[in-house]
Amino acid sequence: MYDVIIIGAGPAGIFTALELIKLKTSKKVLIIEQGKKIENRTCPIEKTGKCLKCKPCCNITSGFSGAGAFSDGKLLSYHLSLYNENEDNFYLGGNDGSFIKQYLSTQEIKDLLKYTDDIYLDFGADKHLEGIDRRDEILELQRKAKKEDLNLIDIPLRHLGTEKAHVLYKKIEDFISEKVDIIYNTTVTDIVIKDGKTNGVLAKDLLTGDEKEYKAGKVIIAVGRKGAGWLEKLCKEHKIETRIGSVDIGIRYELPNKVMQQINELLYEGKVIAYPEPFKDKVRTFCQNPGGFVTTEVYDDGVTLVNGHSYKDRKSDNTNLAILVSHHFTYPFDKPIEYGENIAKNSNSIALGNIIVQRLGDIRRGKRTWKEELDNNSVRPTLKTAVAGDITYALGYRTMTDILEFIRKMDKVVEGFANPDNLLYAPEIKFYSNELIVDKNFETNIKGVYSIGDGGGLTTGLMMASASGVKMARILENK
Ligand SMILES: Cc1cc2nc3c(=O)[nH]c(=O)nc-3n(C[C@H](O)[C@H](O)[C@H](O)COP(=O)(O)OP(=O)(O)OC[C@H]3O[C@@H](n4cnc5c(N)ncnc54)[C@H](O)[C@@H]3O)c2cc1C
């Protein structure tokens, strides 16, 4: 019998527990996580050269600290409007569909970010902030981008680096484990709901197959993108209110560091947004990793997506970044997650269960890329398991047109951005979709069931997911 059950030990879940501990709560808290402890999370791809589709869960996306453990650890700084003090229209990372903006005031978000940033610093985050020096050069680059209708967002960030993120989250794990119960290798299969309110969850031990009920009056859903598919089904079954969300579909782009040198040095991550003709869809870059490595993440049903990260010290010759197109569907179609999954499945199946990679020059010439061409390409792929092929078989005309037009525009700002040897990997998809309708206390229409972090669409990134956990804890403590 617990007071609070948190589903998922990602940043949102663990910062809820952390803040409850800081508030010296008397509440009995349980975290249920389908993955492993952080020290047991390793991705075999570096040793085996291929994705082994780890069972019971992908180590990249599951386990203590969630998708954060293997993330590049770019933390949005709280200096949201450092250079535009009076603006409320600030950027919050991810697809900026950070719906938390709907629930909290600008000042509250800033305070929350500052508080959360301080916790990261206490646990050993790098004190250095990227993007605060050489202001004149940044402004000049922004002006150049504007001429191409590209909006280069200028926001300072803190870079943990993948290996340092591991160390930091291990310290948090040690701290939390002393004070709250955490069960690993266990997946929540259902939330127990009676008369419009919850009294716990059903959970299955993934190693033994045993199913058990855990009781609590408050259940926090913090399942991240990994749990988005499960969450969608859960909401349908229990009539938890949602609204049709969007899904971001695109590619991971890899090109030489020397092409990206200026942007890398000035900002570390250049977040660029555009609405290219003819569709005027929102196209944006995301998760830029200077000297980084392209990686994979495996979801339920074995769907493999591409992603990227970078270490603090170990560097490659390439920079990788996502180029994503926001897809908003209108009535009667209301299944953005399913749409994204189908694109991913098609794409995986063309590459026999792997990620496809193609040279930009080959796409322009209307031909696939062959392995021999990739072997002789000047940009060497950092994801060795990617299969040379044709991504235009998988991504739709609209998505491809948006991406190619965006690359063409970027080339005017960053010379060499459209070099034919640059590589496109697919599919990169962000399932931000299933947006749960919550009140200002993050509570759903089911009493005692709350939703935070990326899974329910409240946030779209490490820092905001963590901050949503802090806020959740304060709400719980005041209840
Ligand atoms: C490779 C990579 C690089 C990234 N780089 C960055 C970056 O540099 N900056 C940034 O801001 N963001 C980055 N992100 C995104 C960032 O990691 C996420 O925004 C953040 O982790 C979201 O936190 P969360 O707690 O909402 O969800 P998650 O971190 O996804 O955690 C959810 C947890 O819930 C568990 N879970 C799911 N379903 C269940 C269930 N039914 N039962 C029990 N447990 C369940 C999962 O196993 C997982 O551990 C990156 C992501 C990846 C994959």
- pLDDT at position 84 is 44
- Quick one: which atom of ligand 1 is closest to the CA of 452? 26
CA of 60 to the centre of ligand 1 (A): 9
The pLDDT of residue 51 is: 77
pLDDT of residue 144: 95
How far apart (Å, rounded) are the C-alpha atoms in residues 63 and 41?
7
41-55, 198-212, 317-331, 392-406: least confident range: 41-55
**Ligand 1 within 6 A of CB of 295:** yes
The more confident residue out of 156 and 123 is 123
Q: 271 pLDDT exceeds 90?
A: no
pLDDT score of 98: 56
Which protein residue has the closest C-alpha to ligand 1 atom 52? 71
Instruction: Decide: 74 in ligand 1 pocket, CB within 6 A.
Output: yes
Cβ–ligand 1 contact at 297 (below 6 Å): yes
Answer whether residue 85 shows pLDDT above 60. Answer: no
State whether the beta carbon of 230 lies less than 6 angstroms from ligand 1: yes
Q: Is the per-residue pLDDT at 352 higher than 50?
A: yes
pLDDT of 102 over the 80 cut: no
Model confidence over 305-318: pLDDT tens digits? 999 988 878 899 99
pLDDT (0 to 100) of residue 468: 93
- The larger pLDDT score, comparing residue 210 to residue 108, is at 210
What average pLDDT is seen over the chain? 90
Tell me: pLDDT of 213 over 80: yes
Q: Which residue has the higher pLDDT, 297 or 193?
A: 193
Q: Which of residues 40 and 82 earns the better pLDDT score?
A: 40
- Position 92 scores a pLDDT of 55
Is the pLDDT at 83 greater than 60? The verdict is: no
Pocket-testing residue among 72, 186, 294, ligand 1, by greatest number of atoms within 8 A of Cβ? 72
Q: Of ligand 1's atoms, which has the minimum distance to the CA of residue 32?
A: 43
Average pLDDT rounded to a whole number, residues 369-395: 97
Q: Give, using CA atoms, the residue closest to atom 50 of ligand 1.
A: 71
- Ligand 1 centre to CA of 259 (Å) is 30
Is the distance from the beta carbon of residue 292 to the nearest atom of ligand 1 less than 6 Å? no
Does pLDDT of 455 surpass 50?
yes
Does the pLDDT at position 328 exceed 60? yes
**Average pLDDT for residues 420-439, to the nearest whole number?**
89
Whether the per-residue pLDDT at 9 is higher than 70: the answer is yes
337 lines ligand 1 (CB under 6 A): no
Average pLDDT on 250-267 reads 96
Chain segment 128-143, per-residue pLDDT in tens: 888 778 888 988 999 9
Question: What is the model's pLDDT at position 471?
Answer: 96
pLDDT average, residue stretch 334-356: 92
Q: Inform me whether the pLDDT recorded for 117 exceeds 80.
A: yes
Alpha carbon of 325 to ligand 1 centroid (Å)? 20
Q: Cβ(358) to ligand 1 under 6 A?
A: no
Tens-digit pLDDT profile for residues 14-37: 999 999 999 999 999 999 999 999
* Ligand 1 pocket check for 176: Cβ under 6 Å: no
Neighbours of 234 (CB within 10 A): 22
Output the pLDDT for position 90: 54
Distance 225 CA to ligand 1 centre (A): 6
The region of weakest confidence among 137-141, 156-160, 260-264, 442-446 is 156-160
- Mean pLDDT over 385-406 rounds to 97
Between 370 and 111, name the one with better pLDDT.
Answer: 370
Nearest CA to ligand 1 atom 2: 71
In the predicted structure, residue 50 carries a pLDDT above the cut 80: no
The pTM (predicted TM-score) of the whole model is 0.85
Q: How far is the CA of 70 from the centre of ligand 1 (A)?
A: 9
> Which tokens in the block code for residue 64?
């203590």
Percent of the chain with pLDDT over 90: 65
Domains, in order of start, for the chain = 1-125+160-243+436-479 (3.50.50.60), 246-430 (no CATH)
Q: What is the pLDDT of residue 223?
A: 96
Q: 35: Cβ below 6 Å to ligand 1? A: yes
Q: Ligand 1 within 6 A of 14 CB?
A: no
pLDDT computed for residue 26 by the predictor: 95
The closest-lying atom of ligand 1 relative to the alpha carbon of residue 62 is 47
